[in-house]
Structure 1
Amino acid sequence: MNYALFSGLDEEFLALPFYEEQHRTTAVELAEWCVAHADLWSRPLERTPEKAGREILSALGSAGWLGFLDPANRPDAGGLRSVCLAREILAYADDLADFAFSIQALSATPILRWGSSAQQGEYLPRMASGEVAGSFAISEEEAGSDISAVGLTADRVSGGYLLNGRKAWIAHAGIADVHCVIARTGEGPGALGLTAFLVPAHTPGVRVLEEVPLVAPRSFGHLAFDDCLVPESSVLGRPGHGFVVATDLLERFRMTVGAAAVGFARRARDSAVQRARERRIHGGRLLDLQLVKGALADMEIKLNASALLVARAAWEFDHENPGCAKHSSIAKVAATEAAQEIVDAAVQLHGAAGLVADSVPERLYRQVRSLRIYEGASEVQKLIIADALGRRPHAGRSRVASDVPPSRVDIRCVDGESHE
């Protein structure tokens, strides 16, 4: 079977030197898995996004697709290039498939990169198996683009820290077993006074304020922390290190949002081409019209450019090259903006059929919109890209928020960065 016809897999693109054999093998196997397990996200969706998300997460874990989250199990799983390819393929298959995969990877990565051996041993094997779900809780209603304004407090008390405050727009808020929470501990002003914590969802004082319905149904909600006592061992990294944990994570995952955008856009392109071939008009096919050919060509150009920018960004990170954070922002802006245009063009080519509720074009139109907002909105990414021009990271310096003084950190994230 040619899985490229059903999974959006671009085997010619995989042959480019950005990828190695392990990436190609993994991509083909995941594409085959998606085709064989399409019942997990069959439409119309008869389960809540929370229940569907949990089932998809369990299936992904059981099949080994989250194995890279456990270094003891998969010490060399292909890096961010594999994550990006997975998001492209899963987003092509279904929004909820990509969402479950991406949020699990997002919430486990801080533990993978900054967690102690005890924290990694407690959470990563079960997150890799899909048994334990995670969330990354950083956003607040009054602190989205300004991460230095995080208001949730973590006061030192006998036996640990007492958390009080609210988090907003948290993906998997209602199904997460553990939350990675950014809170204010006050070691310094602004971003210098933040700390990351691992907070089990069953901890007394933690509750889901409400589930938040979105235009594209997903497990989403607000969290409350009321006199929530956590031990000192719950600190991820070290006190005052929360901004670095958050920024490191967001820089790595912005390009993966671009990868998901490529998956959505490829599905829209394929749907538009199929419609143009089948739709009869004026004694011929829709595809015979010159304006339609031009629209399809524009879609293909934007799609190819986006895929290349995402691959380049992931390659830069996997090779630890200077300036890789800039390329992650470039990939996110280019791919998400292009995907919005491609999906809109696909709806236009479908005509009235593209407006039917729960049709492929209509679902994609709702699903793709959020990508331009979370993990840093396009406008914020442009500021990051512009700031990087003319700056050359010095050897030996961390690439995490390099050369960014504390007074400038307010442009690094935006509302919804904790979604993905």
Structure 2
Amino acid sequence: MPVFSLDPAETAWCAELRALATERLRPLADRGGPGRVNRPLLAELGRLGLLERVFHSTALDLCLLRESLAQGCTEAETALALQGLGAHPVAVAGTEGQRARWLPEVCAGRAVAAFALSEPGAGSDAAALALRAEPDGGTGGWRLTGEKRWISNAPEADFYTVFARTSPAPDPDPAPSRIAAPGGSPAPASAPSRSRGVTAFLVPAGRPGLTGAPIEMLAPHPVGALTFDAVPVTRADVLGEVGRGFRTALATLTLFRPSVGAFAVGMAQSALDATVAHTATRTAFGGPLKELQSVAHQVAEMATRTEAARLLVYAAARAYDTGAPGVPARAAMAKLYATETAQYVVDAAVQLHGARALQRGHLLEHLYREVRAPRIYEGATEVQRTIIARELYG
């Protein structure tokens, strides 16, 4: 019972998406292998027009799309989101030729995209990336050397949006103002300056010297590592401007952060719905669980936090769409609160269901594995707090 003022058309669209997720996408997801790109699922997302919608939607539409799919099929939601994340830099910064070559294939579900930013030593501190783009003699191009890690859709993607250093990072200010970061370590305020000299490249799979390997993760979607051994790239592979690639990365993350929150809200709502049904019918101590005050109050708390998270997500998306001030902080708040809430709600749902929720194949067992990762990717919870604090003290 969301109180945000969605219009009737938006409400009907969300209901249609939930039905599609359950009836048409869930069976395809069930036939896929964990940790592998599910190309039949992507093709169906393309046939339904949902992948194309990602590139022609408002931020609010993207949130509604991801939340609704997540309630019925988290695999479909994730497959769609990864296509958007990997190809969004092409859509906003690519040349006419790059867009014509790749975007129709992505929207049809025939080409798999990947966003290659994280590295073994550059996760939360993305500006510290070290993948080198070294000038390639007199060709005017570069050779990419280094590693990327924890890249969704790797190593099965058909192309990668790769962020690499075309010039050395400036030395950080030896005495910058600092804000606490994960683990108590300081996050230098000069971090943005270290992002200078980063260039975004569109790198098709199959380039000489590009290899990859899958990484087995807790969540079931595909994640891998990439090794670049003097991989050739040219001026025609550059996305946007040389040395300004980090802006493209941040623009992509700012758009997608509220919708990561929407994914989390969808999972929380799915867990909440299952818990309401279970506690209304499961008997213990002479009556249904819902008649135990401790249980009823727990479910009420789950519902309240889920609705609060939903409102933060929708508000951040609306702010993005209207060009309101403070979008980075609003997006960070939405991602932070929604992902933390989803973790709480799914964990509480497991507790109220008991041992049955831990059985392989149970909805909550699946959600329990899915819900942990969003608190880390696209900026960990601690990074979101740093962004919010910087905005407050800016």
* TM norm. shorter chain > 0.5: yes
| Unpaired stretches in structure 1, ≥5 consecutive residues | 1-11, 71-76, 392-420
- TM-score normalized by structure 1? 0.84
Aligned: 1:206 with 2:206: no
1:67 paired residue number: 52
Task: Give the one of 29, 33, 36 matched to 1:50.
Answer: 36
Q: Which residue of 2 aligns with 1:34?
A: 21
Q: Who is 2:134 aligned against?
A: 155
- Cα distance, 1:46 vs structure 2: 5.9
Number of residue equivalences:
368
* Mapped partners of 1:333, 1:33: distance in 2: 28
Shift of 1:41: 2.2
Q: How does 1:210-359 map to 2 (within 5 A)?
A: 210-359=213-362
Matched position secondary structure for 1:266 = helix
Q: Given that residues 26 and 82 in structure 1 are in contact (C-alpha distance below 8 angstroms), is that contact kept between their aligned partners in structure 2?
A: no
How far does the alpha carbon of each residue in 1:65-120 deviate from its partner, in whole angstroms, 9 at most, with x for none?
011355xxxxxx44111111111112112221111011001111111111111111
What amino acid sits opposite 1:50 in the alignment? Answer: R
Letter matched to residue 131 of structure 2: L
**Shift of residue 280, structure 1, vs aligned partner:** 1.3
**1:61-100 equivalences in 2 (<5 Å):** 61-69=46-54, 77-100=56-79
C-alpha deviation, 1:301, in angstroms: 0.3
Determine the structure 1 residue equivalent to 2:386.
383
- The aligned runs of 1:102-141 (5 Å cut-off) are 102-141=81-120
Residues 288-328 of structure 1 deviation map (CA, whole Å, 9 limit, x = unaligned): 11111000000000000000000000000011112111100
Amino acid at match of 1:284: G
Residue 47 of structure 1 aligns with an amino acid whose one-letter code is G
Is residue 101 from structure 1 mapped to residue 89 from structure 2 by the alignment? no
Matched position secondary structure for 1:226: strand
Which SS does the other structure have where 1:166 is aligned?
strand
CA distance in 1, matches of 2:92, 2:98: 11
Aligned AA for 1:41? Answer: A
Amino acid at match of 1:31: R
Q: Which amino acid aligns with 1:246?
A: A
Aligned position for 1:366: 369
**What SS does structure 1 have at the residue aligned with 2:195?**
helix
**What is residue 395 of structure 1 aligned with on the other side?**
none
2:174 corresponds to 1:195: no
Alignment partner of 2:50: what SS?
coil
Please report how far the alpha carbon of residue 61 of structure 1 lies from its aligned counterpart in structure 2 after TM superposition: 0.8
Contact persistence 1:206–1:224 (CA under 8 A): yes
Amino acid of the structure 1 residue aligned with 2:199: T
CA separation of 1:48/1:376 partners in 2, compared to 1, >3 Å: closer, same or farther? closer
Deviation at 1:386, TM superposition (A): 0.9
* Cα displacement (A) at 1:277: 1.4
The Cα of 1:284 is off from its aligned counterpart by 1.2
**What residue number does 2:189 align with?**
none
* 1:254 Cα deviation from its structure 2 partner: 1.1
CA distance in 2, matches of 1:175, 1:82: 28
**C-alpha separation in 2, matches of 1:356 and 1:223:** 34
Q: Output the CA distance in 2 between the equivalents of 1:248 and 1:78.
A: 15
1:175 corresponds to 2:156: yes
**Alignment partners' CA distance in 2, 1:341 and 1:34:** 24
TM-score, length-scaled by structure 2: 0.89
The answer on whether the counterparts of 1:22 and 1:78 sit within 8 Å (CA) in structure 2 is no
| 3-state SS, counterpart of residue 389 of structure 1 | helix
- Structure 1 distance, partners of 2:32, 2:90, is 34
CA RMSD of superposed structures (Å): 1.7
Contact 2:95 2:239 in 1 (8 A): yes
Q: Is the 8 A contact 1:313 1:331 kept in 2?
A: yes
Structure 2 alignment gaps of length 5 or more: 171-193
Cα distance in 1 between the residues matched to 2:360 and 2:28: 20
Q: How big is each residue's C-alpha offset from its partner over 1:367-416, in whole Å with a ceiling of 9 and x where there is no partner? A: 1011111111111111110110154xxxxxxxxxxxxxxxxxxxxxxxxx
The verdict on how the C-alpha distance between 1:258 and 1:267 changes in structure 2, with shifts beyond 3 A counting, is same
- Determine if contact 2:265/2:310 at 8 Å carries over to the other structure: yes
Q: In 2, are the aligned partners of 1:41 and 1:94 still within 8 Å (CA)?
A: yes
CA distance in 2, matches of 1:371, 1:47: 21
CA distance in 2, matches of 1:128, 1:314: 22
Counterpart for residue 398 of structure 1: none
Give the corresponding residue for 2:175.
none
Query: Could you say if the C-alpha distance between residues 253 and 350 of structure 1 is closer, same or farther in structure 2, counting changes exceeding 3 Å?
Result: same
> How far did 1:360 drift?
1.2
Q: AA paired with 1:149? A: A
Distance 1:35 1:194, change over 3 A: same
Q: Is the 8 A contact 1:255 1:329 kept in 2?
A: yes
Give the partner amino acid of 2:148. Answer: K
Three-state SS of the structure 1 residue aligned to 2:227 is strand
Query: Distance between the aligned counterparts of 1:34 and 1:312, measured in 2?
Result: 25
Distance in 2 between the 1:197 and 1:46 partners? 30
Q: Deviations over 1:181-200 (max 9, x none)?
A: 00000076321110000000
Structure 1 residue 25, shift from structure 2 partner: 4.5
